[in-house]
Structure 1
C-alpha cells in the first residue's frame, strides 16, 4: 500500500495536534466552561462616559436652587450637553446648561 506525501503530512499533523488536546473529565469544570460560553463579553467603557452620567432629556420643571446640594457638567463624550444636579434628598436630575436658572444655580453652588 502506497501512502501519498500529503496524506502522510496530514497524519503527522493530526497526531501532533491530537497530543495537545485535553479531555475534561471533571463535571464541575465542564459545567463552568458551558456557563462561560453562554456569558457575553463585558462592556468596557474606555474613555467614554457611562450612560448614567449623561442626560438624555431635561427636566421640564424650574430649577429651585435652594433644594440643590451639588452638580456636575456632563462629559463631552455624551450625546448632548447637560448638567446633573443632586438634591439635598439625594435625587438626581438633568437640566440644560444654557438655561438661565441653571446657570444661576451653578454659580450659587460654586460660591457656597
Structure 2
C-alpha cells in the first residue's frame, strides 16, 4: 500500500509540473544517442532567464516538442507552435552567437 501511495505521489508531482521526458535506451548496437521524447507539454510560460538551451524532439517521437533545459538542468517540454516557445528559441540562439 505504501509503495502505491508513493508512486501516486510521484505521478501527481510529475503531472503538476506537466513535464515528462522519456529517454529511449533500446539502441544497443548503434552509436546513436538515445531519443528524448516528451509525453506531455507544459502550458506555463518559462522565464527566459531560467533557460540555458533547447533541443527538438525526433520525428520518431509521438509528440512534436521543444525540450528546454533550465540552468538547474531540468528538462521541460513545450509546444513549438506557441509564440513564447518560438521567442525563447530565438533568444537562446542569439545567446550562442
TM-score normalized with structure 2 length: 0.62
Q: How far does the alpha carbon of each residue in 1:13-56 deviate from its partner, in whole angstroms, 9 at most, with x for none?
A: xxxxxxxxxxxxxxxxxxxxxxxxxxxxxx43667963xx1111
Greater Rg, structure 1 or structure 2?
Answer: 1
Distance 1:71 1:83 in 2: 7
**Alpha-carbon distance between aligned partners in 2 of 1:99 and 1:73, rounded to the nearest angstrom:** 14
Distance in 1 (CA, whole Å) between partners of 2:60 and 2:33 is 6
8 Å CA contact 1:71, 1:83 repeated in 2: yes
Matched length: 69
Structure having the larger proportion of residues in strand: 2
Higher relative contact order (CA 8 A, sep 6+): 2
Unaligned runs of 5+ in 1: 1-42
Structure with more of its chain in helix, by fraction:
1
Shift of 1:82: 0.2
SS of 2:93 mapped into structure 1: helix
2:39: which partner in 1?
Answer: 56
State the partner residue of 1:111.
94
RMSD between aligned alpha carbons?
A: 2.2
Does structure 2 retain, via aligned residues, the 8 Å contact 1:49–1:75?
A: no
Q: TM-score, normalising length from structure 1?
A: 0.54
